[in-house]
Amino acid sequence: MARSTTDLVAVWDIALSDGVHKIEFEHGTTTGKRAIYVDGQTKLKTEWLFKLVGKEDFTIGKQNVKASIHIDACSGFAYEYTLHIQGKSLKKFIENKSKTSKSWEFKLDGKDTRVVLEKDTMAVWCNGQEMETAGEFTDEGTETHFEIGNHFCYIKALSSGKRRDGILHTLYLDNCLLPDK
């Protein structure tokens, strides 16, 4: 059955370690109908609810990141929709994510490639797949080695020498430094 776009009220693109996910939310403001789609897959679908406001919980991505959409009445029949991820507002989640992960986007063998480092676990993801890695201590810091196809890669972690800046992470592809975004 084809989806109705007449009740589509919100769309968000969320960058997680395993890729960028598209979240679509449909809300029938007279019937209370609700539908949540993540990357085109149905996560929730209700046809009739008496309660027009509230929240709906669901998960995103391979890591089943917890998310919720909050539906609040503004005035009359106007509604506000806010997305929360891991219990945080979208703004707070994005701020926190920028502190706990680092990502690089580049072309490799003619294809768009996205590498993400989760700083807290040192897990490395490439185009939605968690990579097998090997860590190595060096005189300057650490290196996390992995391969993308037949390309040798490593992420170098070095102290910035400044307490506020903390540790700097750089990505090398075939021994060439890739620029930050």
Query: What's 73's domain CATH number?
Result: 2.40.128.180
User: Is the whole-model pTM more than 0.85?
Assistant: no
Contact 124, 116 (CB under 8 A): yes
Do 77 and 51 have their domain in common? Answer: yes
Residue 129's DSSP bridge partners are: 126
Give me the number of domains the chain comprises. Answer: 2
How many other CB atoms are found less than 10 A from the CB of residue 132?
9
Q: Is residue 122 part of a domain?
A: yes
Given a cut of 50, the residues of the chain with pLDDT beneath it are: 1
Tell me what pLDDT residue 130 has: 93
Of 28, 72, 68, the residue nearest 48 (C-alpha): 28
Q: Is residue 112 part of a domain?
A: yes
Tell me what pLDDT residue 4 has: 58
What mean pLDDT value characterizes the chain?
Answer: 88
Contact 85, 65 (CB under 8 A): yes
Of 141, 140, 143, 148, the residue nearest 174 (C-alpha): 148
Q: What residues make up the domain containing 48? A: 8-86
Tell me what pLDDT residue 1 has: 45
Q: Is residue 135 part of a domain?
A: yes
